[in-house]
Amino acid sequence: MKTLIVSIVIGMLALAGAAPVAAQLKDDEATSVGATPPHDLAAERNSYTNFAQSEMRMWEKKLHDFNARLDTSATVNKTNAPKSLDSAWTETRAVPA
């Protein structure tokens, strides 16, 4: 399960890192054909980068919260399992053959 979560986080980081590179390529294409950009591309890139970083922080928090819930659930199950097993064994032994 943790491997899946690590894979998701690494994939998101890779995508977030590729976005500024793609934005840089768009700037180069616009200047190579001589077109003047209608708006400030650096500000737009910074805005998008900030947005992507905030999205990454949100997903990291969600993954952290999910892991915390799993750990709590595992602890509860680990505590309850011996009791359930003892109860089932007692019921099994009480049944006449």
| pLDDT tens-digit map of 35-63 | 655 678 999 999 999 999 999 999 999 99
pTM over 0.75: no
pLDDT band at 10 (very low <50, low <70, confident <90, very high): confident
Burial class (CB in 10 A: 0-12, 13-18, 19+), 19: middle
Looking at the structure of the chain, the number of domains it has is: 1
Domain that holds residue 57: 2-94
